[in-house]
Amino acid sequence: MMFNQELINQIRVAFPRAVTDFTGQKRAFFDNGTATLVVDKAAEAEAEARINCSANVGAIFAESKQAEAVIQAGRQAVADFLNAPSPSTIVSGESATSLFFNLSYALGKELTGRENVVTTDYEHYTNISPWVELEERGKIQQLRFSKLNMEEGTMDMEHLQGLIDSNTKIVTVTSASNMLGTKSPLEEIGKMAKEVGAYFLVDAVHHIAHGPTDVQAMDCDFLVFSGYKLFGSHGSYLYGKQEHLEALKPFKVKPATNIPPGKYEWGTRNQATFASISGVMDHFHWLSDQIKSQDGEKYGLLGEKKRSLRIAMDAIEKYEVGFSKSILTGYDDVPGLLDIPGVTVFGIRDVNRLIERDPTFSIEVDNIPGDEIAQRLWKEAGIAARAANFYSYAQDVYNQPNVYRISLVHYNTHEEIRIFLKALNEIVLSKK
């Protein structure tokens, strides 16, 4: 059983705000690229941990011991989700930005000023600003940006390859663009980095909710994602290869441990955050049980929990390809984005290549500012999305500082897409 109507209904029940907001306003939540809604299992686990084990770790009494257990279980859950070899490779932080800066400082201690860092033209600024700072401080000679194939919003792999040389110390890319939806060919890029002995870093924040993320398959040295982009609470996670976490010297207070992952974590850990991410994984395990995928055998080398999570994320990815197709081509009774006059769609538009993108769509409409689109779609159709600067360097490249964007996840529905397309078409026609 894949995503039939019964399962879709159950999924939407699992997300208490999938249908209405806290005021009772019915709406379609299409702002998932900014933050996803919270799944019930994550919220319940977070509340329970906050109440039952709010004591700090390191003591002999029950609340403290339980806090330690919750934190360790959360690390293990993240490790399973990423197919990481050990929970000791999972570092927690306040945000993806804080983790990237902390990592850049640690890597910067190894640099001499002669090296370069290679990234791309469609990164989030979280994966740009730390390296800009290293360049400004003279820790690297140059930050290099790989160009895009502008028409389709994909990476120019030939240009990327030409930027990587013997002085490249770090190659750092997003797993998917938060403006264009384009997925990066991570395994291919990782091989380029390894050929010159560079670290390979992945910003998985935008893609994390849309499909499987396997750190061993992509052979990345580090990877970062955020819990609130994955149906849980705020707080973010960094995977790092054990040998790198042990060798690097991050900034920390003197009494803090010198053993990873603790030596990278500033201040006291929030056990409720770890409980929340465990709750998210419980949701995926539940989803896997409902699907009862026949593809599970191909994951035979994975442990039971890792296999369960992979089945769920593979199913989500396949289901969301259908969203992308409907958004672009529409339905019998309403045109898709490709057929609405005056609408420009950024990113991949070829319906035969939708596996290469997430269901994140940024659009420009002739003679209608993005803010007006957002306001009218909200008022006239209850579409919760926004026109904004999404901290995407691609918006600078495309000269789209205030683009309108929708981003869908597995609790959204085709009926919501139909409502969106019908309303957008009416808005465009009303301007003619």
Reported as a single tens digit per residue, the pLDDT across 179-201 is 999 999 999 999 999 999 999 99
Average pLDDT, the chain: 96
d(CA 76, CA 82): 10
Helix (H) or strand (E) holding 427: helix 414-430
Question: Residues in the chain, how many?
Answer: 432
What does DSSP say about strands 154-155 and 142-146: parallel, antiparallel, or unpaired? unpaired
Per the model's pLDDT, the better-predicted residue between 301 and 385 turns out to be 385
pLDDT at position 2 is 80
Residue 420 predicted with pLDDT over 70 = yes
d(CA 15, CA 314): 20
Residue 368 predicted with pLDDT over 90 = yes
Show the domains of the chain with their CATH numbers.
5-39+317-430 (3.90.1150.10), 44-280 (3.40.640.10)
Per the model's pLDDT, the better-predicted residue between 128 and 1 turns out to be 128
**Mind listing the pLDDT tens digit for each residue in 253-288?**
999 999 999 999 999 999 999 999 999 999 999 999
pLDDT at position 301 is 72
Residue 296 predicted with pLDDT over 60 = no
pLDDT at position 295 is 56
Asked whether the CA dihedral 54, 59, 62, 68 is positive or negative, the reply is: positive
pLDDT at position 402 is 94
Q: Which residues contact 356 (CB under 8 A, 6 or more apart)?
A: 154, 182, 183, 348
pLDDT at position 303 is 87
State the pTM of this model. Answer: 0.97
Per-position DSSP letters for 150-200, written without gaps between them: TTTTEE-HHHHHHH--TTEEEEEEESB-TTT-BBP-HHHHHHHHHHTT-EE
Closest CA to 30 of 325, 419, 290: 419
